[in-house]
Structure 1
Amino acid sequence: MDLLNAISGFVWGPVMLTLLVGTGLFLTVGLRLMPIRRLGYGFRMLWKGRHAEAEAGDISPFQALMTALSATVGTGNIAGVATAIALGGPGAVFWMWITALVGMATKYGEAVLAVRFREVDSRGRYQGGPMYYIKNGMGEKWRWMAWLFALFGTVAAFGIGNTIQANSVANALHSNFSVPVGVSGAALAVLTALVLIGGIKSIGAVAGKLVPFMAIAYVAGALVILGLNAGEIPSALALIVDSAFTGSAATGGFAGAAVMAAIRFGVARGVFSNEAGLGTAPIAHAAAKTDNPVRQGVIGMLGTFIDTIVICSMTALVIITSGAWTLLDPATGAAYTGSALTSAAFEGGLPGTGAYVVSLGIALFAYTTLVGWSFYGERCAEYLFGVKVIPFYRVLWVLAIPLGALGNLEALWLVADIMNGLMALPNLIALIVLSPLVFRITREYFARED
């Protein structure tokens, strides 16, 4: 455990976080702020892409984004935001926003390259992602790096995308509804198996319906609380901005935090939440029915905006306006953190129902993450071993779910954490090397559009 902690601390240390944010900043400048300037255009393309188009691909552009969001919107939006505030103060939220704004360019570049360099496998299905744009975009001499990405992705999926999510669902349902963890694990396995039978088309269809519902339901609950606390919102926003540059003073149960803590935890939790730069989302976008990489790119970048700027901000504002971040947990006598902090904030805003909103949110978010990551892991395994591995991979995926629900996952968390971080390195190198291509086809596309 000490060794794993040390490796995880190095992998997710300042160098990695700087590289992730730095790559996003580099792409943002190279694209001349296009992701921010063309945000409205991205939503128009998303609306047009709700239904399957008569272009090459397996699922509609809308379903591709929902599949990517299903794997991205998860416990990080509930527990991750709360942890950032508990450790870094309200100022951490500001740095989460900055991470998301530059992360939009990263997601855009990933989706563009995924469509540009995708392939068709022996089943006639479209596949792509970092392993393909490394191999096809950077050349055969870089094939080893593509292989490493696929290996890290195959292993990481069983941790961050499977057992850990199953454990989160089982614990949430047990603590609030007294559902035995074994029952939750078995039910999750059955529900996931039914979706996986249909492959990416089934995953896309389920994600296309469930992700918008869960996101709207969670945001709606947050908006009700914020409506009741409307008078506190301006001061909360001012506190977020002020604390980002001056630090947060100790108040109530909050121990205080320096500016560096706000930056560190804001950036780290922002990256964990929206996954910009990790290389997972382009695997889903490569399956989109589109003949234009840029059009899917502007849809892909919306994932970071929706995940962090919308959903994470709702969680953060509820926590700050409620004052829960300064309170002590009566059960432990310590300051609230993680999902307990979010539950306390929602319960304070909606007595009797707020905690259930958070619990159901965790359950739904974690389930869709489990389904979305199954596709990522499967595609990585297919790259390594060919299409023959897919049935075996799906069986292993389903069998791992109840084990995750019942298990003690501390060590697995760390292994998954390490693999997740190692996935980012090949992807970020490819994004930087292939950035001139991304810049060129973006300029050409918008010159025609304008």
Structure 2
Amino acid sequence: METLNNIFGAINGVVWGPIMLVLLLGVGIYLQLGLKLLPIRKLGMGFKLMWDGRDKKAVAGEAKADDGEISPFNALMTALSATIGTGNIAGVATAIALGGPGAVFWMWITALVGMATKFAEAVLAVRYRETDETGFHIGGPMYYIKNGLGRKWLWLGGAFAFFGAVAAFGIGNTVQSNSVADALESSFGVPHWVTGVVIMVLAGAVILGGIKRIAKVAGKLVPVMGIAYIIAGLVVLAFNADQIGAAFGNIFFYAFNPHAAMGGFAGAAVMAAIRFGVARGIFSNEAGLGSAPIAHAAAQTKNPVRQGLIAMLGTFIDTIMVCTITALVILTAPIWETGEAGASLTALSFDTALPGFGEAIVAIALAVFAFTTILGWSFYGEKCFQFLFGTRSIMLYRVLFVLAIPLGAMAQLGFIWLMADTFNAMMAIPNLIALALLSPVVFKLTKDYFDGKDILPGEELDHDKS
């Protein structure tokens, strides 16, 4: 086991190291410039399309029942269900604890760049999607690699699907149930096994029903939990209003200046702020990892660009909105300078302003966020597994995924976390290669859309399915 730990530790150091972060940012910047900053310029249009896309009938002539399984709005909520999770609570706290306040600035930069990446992923997902033998729409990096780059690149799509199917059991399942179990035990004294069984039953009831049931639950739970968490954060910031200006000042100052050690804080160089800001930002919003386009491929839409404009909001909502609330709560409380880190730092920061309530709020938010992450990632892993082993393998994957939940809640997850984190990063490599090679398609489809030309979705293209 120690040998495996060392092997995966060495691989993890590479795949989450500077080269990967430069690759993720580099492709994002290239796409953002190639799109002439369209994801930022059209942010308002994206929110309007999201609101109109709550129901497939809302956009006249845009979608019919056979154009996809879920509404464009629910496709975004399903993607957000997987991205709004422990990264928004524990990840932001870790970035600040290791990189100082300046890390928040680099999280913002990552999000603005990542909006272009998410846009491109969703455009390609809808453009190159297929319908399987049951009539359901399937798509994502493995399909835009297969159908966009050609069958000689099929091995690359297979690599993505393998990494995705394995990573889902870790980062999207066992790690999440374990985080919830820890939080509920420390806050309310609930035994780990009880938490595991309850999550298994609740998640199983949703997951075994497939994408339509997952999307239906996500469409209701994600907006409620996101808004509730933001409101709780704003209440805390109202108590700490006199510190908000200083918090913003520290974020911008320490993004470009080293932070000296003080109190229990070990200090942080500018490179640490950049490294942890970028890494935690990507961990939270998943821009470039290739997970979200799997959900967007199931949207009831006939227009890849329209879904791309909705998809890019996922990065904005996750990082610019939710992560920023967490960061400001932490930076307006004095706790972060004492050496605390992770979810406990966020909980203590909330508790400083709301004694007796803050820790419970964070524990409940963490539980709901992690639960929806399990739902979203079950679908991602299922589609990756389907790509590798066919449609008949779907139910097997769902059952195994649900059974793994209580095991994760009770396990010691050091190695599982390391392995899952490694495979999670390795998903990004095939996806980023495909995004770079297919970027001319993204640019052309976007130009055609805004020039008023018709754009066909993937299922109306002549894919070679042999």
* Fold shared by both chains (TM-score > 0.5): yes
Consecutive unaligned residues in structure 1, runs of 5 or more:
328-334
Tell me by how many angstroms 1:3 deviates. Answer: 2.1
Report the counterpart of residue 461 of structure 2 in structure 1: none
Report the counterpart of residue 411 of structure 1 in structure 2: 415
- Of the three residues 424, 429, 434, the one matched with 1:420 is 424
Kindly provide the amino acid, as one letter, of the partner of residue 44 in structure 1.
K
CA distance in 1, matches of 2:45, 2:113: 17
- Of the three residues 34, 43, 49, the one matched with 2:47 is 43
Consecutive unaligned residues in structure 2, runs of 5 or more:
58-62, 454-466
- Of the three residues 340, 360, 380, the one matched with 2:364 is 360
Say which SS state the counterpart of residue 131 (structure 1) adopts. helix
Worse-matched range after superposition: 49-58 or 436-445? 49-58
CA distance in 1, matches of 2:208, 2:333: 44
Alpha-carbon deviations, 1:51-84, whole Å to 9, x = none?
Answer: 1243310000000000000000100000000000
CA distance in 1, matches of 2:434, 2:14: 22
Say which SS state the counterpart of residue 452 (structure 2) adopts. helix
Report the counterpart of residue 186 of structure 1 in structure 2: 197
The answer to whether residue 32 in structure 2 is matched with residue 28 in structure 1 is: yes
Kindly provide the amino acid, as one letter, of the partner of residue 45 in structure 1.
L
CA distance in 2, matches of 1:324, 1:138: 50
Worse-matched range after superposition: 192-201 or 300-309? 192-201
Kindly provide the amino acid, as one letter, of the partner of residue 255 in structure 1.
A
The answer to whether residue 344 in structure 2 is matched with residue 340 in structure 1 is: yes
Report the counterpart of residue 234 of structure 1 in structure 2: 245
Report the counterpart of residue 290 of structure 1 in structure 2: 301
Report the counterpart of residue 438 of structure 2 in structure 1: 434
Kindly provide the amino acid, as one letter, of the partner of residue 4 in structure 1.
F
Tell me by how many angstroms 1:256 deviates. Answer: 1.0
Tell me by how many angstroms 1:247 deviates. Answer: 1.8
Alpha-carbon deviations, 1:404-424, whole Å to 9, x = none?
Answer: 000011000111011111110
CA distance in 1, matches of 2:9, 2:426: 15
Kindly provide the amino acid, as one letter, of the partner of residue 370 in structure 1.
I
Report the counterpart of residue 215 of structure 1 in structure 2: 226
Alpha-carbon deviations, 1:199-258, whole Å to 9, x = none?
Answer: 100000000000011111111110001111112111110110000001212222112111
CA distance in 2, matches of 1:421, 1:91: 24
- Of the three residues 196, 213, 237, the one matched with 2:207 is 196
Report the counterpart of residue 19 of structure 1 in structure 2: 23
Say which SS state the counterpart of residue 246 (structure 1) adopts. coil
Say which SS state the counterpart of residue 245 (structure 1) adopts. coil
Report the counterpart of residue 463 of structure 2 in structure 1: none
Report the counterpart of residue 83 of structure 2 in structure 1: 72
Tell me by how many angstroms 1:197 deviates. Answer: 2.5
Report the counterpart of residue 330 of structure 1 in structure 2: none
How many percent identity over aligned positions?
63
- Of the three residues 396, 412, 420, the one matched with 2:400 is 396
Tell me by how many angstroms 1:357 deviates. Answer: 0.7
Tell me by how many angstroms 1:123 deviates. Answer: 0.7
Report the counterpart of residue 126 of structure 2 in structure 1: 115
Report the counterpart of residue 159 of structure 1 in structure 2: 170
- Of the three residues 53, 57, 68, the one matched with 1:57 is 68
Whether contact under 8 Å (2:208, 2:395) holds in the other structure is no
| Two-structure CA RMSD over aligned residues (Å) | 0.9
CA distance in 2, matches of 1:163, 1:318: 28
Whether contact under 8 Å (2:93, 2:346) holds in the other structure is yes
Tell me by how many angstroms 1:4 deviates. Answer: 1.7
Kindly provide the amino acid, as one letter, of the partner of residue 107 in structure 2.
M
CA distance in 2, matches of 1:21, 1:387: 35
CA distance in 2, matches of 1:135, 1:197: 28
Alpha-carbon deviations, 1:387-430, whole Å to 9, x = none?
Answer: 11011111101110010000011000111011111110110000
CA distance in 1, matches of 2:421, 2:322: 23
CA distance in 2, matches of 1:412, 1:131: 24
Whether contact under 8 Å (2:95, 2:276) holds in the other structure is yes
Alpha-carbon deviations, 1:319-342, whole Å to 9, x = none?
Answer: 001121112xxxxxxx10001110
Report the counterpart of residue 323 of structure 1 in structure 2: 334
Report the counterpart of residue 102 of structure 2 in structure 1: 91
Report the counterpart of residue 138 of structure 1 in structure 2: 149
CA distance in 1, matches of 2:79, 2:126: 14
Alpha-carbon deviations, 1:141-184, whole Å to 9, x = none?
Answer: 10110011101111111010011111011111111111111011
Tell me by how many angstroms 1:313 deviates. Answer: 0.3
Give the total of aligned pairs.
442
CA distance in 2, matches of 1:35, 1:323: 36
Tell me by how many angstroms 1:6 deviates. Answer: 1.2
Tell me by how many angstroms 1:2 deviates. Answer: 2.1
Alpha-carbon deviations, 1:82-126, whole Å to 9, x = none?
Answer: 000000000000000000000000000000000000000011100
Tell me by how many angstroms 1:17 deviates. Answer: 0.6
Report the counterpart of residue 376 of structure 1 in structure 2: 380
Whether contact under 8 Å (2:35, 2:443) holds in the other structure is yes
